[in-house]
Amino acid sequence: MYKIPICLGAALHIHAAVSQTTPAAPLNILFIMTDDHAFQALSAYGHPISKLAPTPNLDRIAANGMLFSKAYVENSISTPSRATLLTGMYSHQHGQTHLGYGLRPEVPFFTEHLQQAGYLTAVFGKWHLAVEPKGFNTYKILEDQGDYYNPRFKTPDTNGRYFAEEGYVTDLITDHALEWLQNRDDTKPFCLMVHHKAPHRNWMPDLQYLDLYEDVQFPEPATLFDDYATRGEQMQTQELTVANYLGYAFDLKVAQLQNEPTLEYIKNSFPIAMSSLNEQQLQAWNEAYDRHNKEFLANRPEGEALVRWKYQRFIRDYCRTVKSVDVQVGRLLDYLDAHGLTDRTLIVYTSDQGFLLGEHGLYDKRFMYEESFRTPLIIACPDTKKGAVCKQLVQNIDYAPTILDAAGVAIPESMAGKSLLPLLKNQKVPWRDHLYYHFYDFPSVGMVRRHDGVSDGRYKLIHWHDEGYQNIKAIDHWELFDLKRDPTEIHNLYDDPRYDKIRKRLLCRYATSILSLP
């Protein structure tokens, strides 16, 4: 075991107290965020999955703006990521380190600063925070995670009560956003946040897409059958493998096998998910999946063949839910085009984090492994060269400062991130050379062990550390990956003497990052 050296080094981030790129006039803001959308499933990134399930409307944003090829999160889980978006802070600063609790109510949201600057602000869709929305002129938000079918919403006028609306959640969220755009005071700049539930687990497609991709054979990730030979105990105790932890009914839509052994929360989630469908919806749903499951039930595969079947069912449903997102994003873009707003609007599309689509045999997020740590980010800005690609290391702490900068509002000292406007304008500015990540939420769903680490884009250092839980022993384990030579992160080089200098450099950076955290 190597001790962390005490050393001096570059700070984790380069912070600007106020905007240095104030535009001549404030831009409108359209911020679209999905839940668990992997960059592998956005075709502008060119991944083999997305070539078979393209996203042409999302690609429109990339074609008219900038695609960020190295965009990451600071904590890959929903509520911490949403709190980071609103505050421009790391999880330990705003307090939402875990999924269910922690956001300090006194921490300001960037929307409050926008309101003070005369902006109209609104959010529609998933909120998933234990505090009420603040800094918004209006909102219509889902109850908890929200349902895919006939979801329940509340507004400032419903006194905390939620009311169901008939329809598919991705369509309804877009309907409400468009209605607000149509009826807003168009003499004021706006910041509209559209937060979709999709493609969050359990990947329930719209009825019109239940057969989409059914004949498509998606490519398997190279590490679908990863044996974790060079990884630590954290991979032996996690509960997120495609092979063992996707529920037959809840995740894989085989209702006939709902009593098959599985984790209790997965078993209990199935009737809850199906309870929101009305009679007609349920009939169409059952007819479609009965067709899809007929051959499987008649000739149930085993071993690796069963894992391959589970992967195909999971990825098809995942891409079906993404299809709805892409179509509805197209409606928003069409509205901006039709009303002459596109050239006066900063358009951002991202996810609350990345997602593992079978890599390392996993689904879900939480890990600092690349597919979870990295997130899609595409931004169209009036001053951005069309079709540009940015390779700088950016993080979700940067979203709030970017939006304030676009609005001509000073960036508070409390924000840890940096405005991305200089990058969007292709300006040469000092930039960070590494990122810090920290996952706190253990024990919890998925049983992913607590860990943090640093990445400079080429090399990644991960420290797994927690005190254990019940019959799970404590852990203190290091991993080092060379992302250029080993992009699938299966060769842990931490104890490889050939990487002594790199390991020591990253250990120094890790120590410096922790010491320099605001």
* CB neighbour class for 126 (10 Å; exposed up to 12, middle 13-18, buried from 19): buried
Q: What is the residue whose two structure tokens read 């991993």?
A: 479
| pLDDT above 90: residue 1 | no
Percent of the chain residues topping a pLDDT of 70: 95
CA nearest to 191, candidates 18, 344, 419: 344
Percent of the chain residues topping a pLDDT of 90: 93
Q: How far apart are CA 181 and CA 179, in angstroms?
A: 5
Q: Are 336 and 346 in contact (CB under 8 A)?
A: no
Residue 469 DSSP symbol: B
Q: Are 237 and 73 in contact (CB under 8 A)?
A: no
CA nearest to 253, candidates 275, 240, 270, 241: 270
CA nearest to 125, candidates 111, 145, 96: 145
Between CA 242 and CA 249, with CA 246 as vertex, the angle to 5 degrees is 145
Residue range 195-226, pLDDT digits in tens:
999 999 999 999 999 999 999 999 999 999 99
Residue 389 CB coordination number (10 Å): 12
CA 346, distance to chain mean position in Å, is: 20
Q: What is the mean pLDDT of residues 56-76?
A: 98
Residue range 108-135, pLDDT digits in tens:
999 999 999 999 999 999 999 999 999 9
Indicate the domain borders of the chain: 437-516
Strands 451-455 and 435-439, bridge-based pairing? antiparallel
Residue range 370-413, pLDDT digits in tens:
999 999 999 999 989 999 999 999 999 999 999 999 999 999 99
Residue 285 belongs to what H/E stretch?
helix 279-298
Residue range 248-273, pLDDT digits in tens:
999 999 999 999 999 999 999 999 99
Q: How far apart are CA 244 and CA 400, in angstroms?
A: 39
Residue 472 DSSP symbol: B
Residue 263: per-residue pLDDT: 96
Q: How far apart are CA 486 and CA 489, in angstroms?
A: 5
17, two tokens: 């107290």
**Cis-peptide into 497, omega within 30 deg:** no
Q: What is the mean pLDDT of residues 506-514?
A: 94
Residue 57 belongs to what H/E stretch?
helix 56-63
Q: Are 38 and 361 in contact (CB under 8 A)?
A: no
Q: Side-chain half-sphere of 415: how many Cα atoms within 13 Å?
A: 32
Reduce the DSSP state of residue 439 to 3 states and report it.
strand
User: What is the chain's mean pLDDT, rounded?
Assistant: 94
Q: How far apart are CA 247 and CA 373, in angstroms?
A: 25
Task: Tell me the fold of 437-516.
Answer: Arylsulfatase, C-terminal domain (3.30.1120)
Residue 372: per-residue pLDDT: 98
End-to-end CA distance of the chain: 28
Residue 19: per-residue pLDDT: 42
Q: Are 114 and 404 in contact (CB under 8 A)?
A: yes
The residue count of the chain comes to: 518
Residue range 2-43, pLDDT digits in tens:
444 434 333 344 343 444 444 457 899 999 999 999 999 999
Residue range 313-323, pLDDT digits in tens:
999 999 999 99
285, two tokens: 């749903």
Q: Are 178 and 16 in contact (CB under 8 A)?
A: no
| pLDDT above 80: residue 450 | yes
All residues at 6 or more sequence positions from 336 whose CB lies less than 8 Å from its CB, including other chains:
30, 342, 345, 347
500, two tokens: 């002594």
DSSP 173-220: HHHHHHHHHHHS-TTS-EEEEEE--TT-TT----GGGTTTTTT--PPP
Q: Are 52 and 218 in contact (CB under 8 A)?
A: yes
Helices vs strands, H then E, count in the chain: 15, 18
Strands 388-390 and 66-68, bridge-based pairing? parallel
All residues at 6 or more sequence positions from 187 whose CB lies less than 8 Å from its CB, including other chains:
none
Q: What is the mean pLDDT of residues 274-280?
A: 98
403, two tokens: 């939006």
Residue 351 belongs to what H/E stretch?
strand 345-351
Q: Are 399 and 407 in contact (CB under 8 A)?
A: no
